[in-house]
Amino acid sequence: MEGEKRDKDVLIRDARFSDIDPLTNLRPPRGLHADRIRDPHLSQDARYVVAESNGRPVGFGVIHFRGDPLWDRPDQVPLVMDLWVDPDLRGRGIGKKVLRALEQTAREKGFSCVFLQVQAERNPRAVELYRKLGYQPLQSRGHRDPYHTVDDEGNVKEGTEVIVDMQKWLD
């Protein structure tokens, strides 16, 4: 009940320039947010939202409406990525609220389903959230995908991760 009460104080809105600093403090690197908020193409082909509580961002999520040829599954659109909530505020319904807002945008654009990908073994909590909201895994076992990330300091991280693709049909 407490969680539901708090959830009502959370507003989901489009990310804006003034969010770049607080979002970076919340979850570096800066480029993760700045690139999305500044890119005019991305603003047409995606929606980047923040969850705001007491005037500050406490979470975020993005949905892409156009596949990127560099993705391993460019046909899986709309694709939800980078759902994230302040660790101190998890378990209060904020992640669910962000995801529902992204799904609603897909619905309004005329899409009949939404996709996402999850590191199922490392992130059972996220899998539980997605299942509760009606997402179904597209594979019984995950597939091993390579990743390559570069942070603001130029540190490169590479490796492979076990991914499960999930899909939800929108009503």
Ligand X SMILES: CC(C)(COP(=O)(O)OP(=O)(O)OC[C@H]1O[C@@H](n2cnc3c(N)ncnc32)[C@H](O)[C@@H]1OP(=O)(O)O)[C@@H](O)C(=O)NCCC(=O)NCCS
The CB-nearest residue to ligand X is 95
Cβ neighbours around 140 below 10 Å, total: 6
> How near is the Cβ of 40 to ligand X at its closest, in Å?
26
Residue among 20 and 85 whose Cβ is closer to ligand X: 85
> How near is the Cβ of 113 to ligand X at its closest, in Å?
17
Site for ligand X in 68-127 (CB under 6 A): 83-85, 90-96, 118, 123, 125-126
The size of the interface with ligand X (CB under 6 A), counted in residues, is: 17
> How near is the Cβ of 53 to ligand X at its closest, in Å?
11
* Under rule CB under 6 A, residue 28 binds ligand X: no
Site for ligand X in 131-150 (CB under 6 A): 132
> How near is the Cβ of 57 to ligand X at its closest, in Å?
13
* Under rule CB under 6 A, residue 128 binds ligand X: yes
3-state secondary structure the chain: CHHHHHHHCCEEEECCHHHHHHHHHHCCCHHHHHHHHHCHHHHHHEEEEEEEECCEEEEEEEEECCCCCCCCCCCCCCEEEEEEECHHHCCCCHHHHHHHHHHHHHHHCCCCEEEEEECCCCCHHHHHHHHHCCCEECCCCCEEEEEEEECCCCCEEEEEEEEEEEEEECC
* Under rule CB under 6 A, residue 64 binds ligand X: no
Binding site for ligand X (CB under 6 A): 83-85, 90-96, 118, 123, 125-126, 128-129, 132
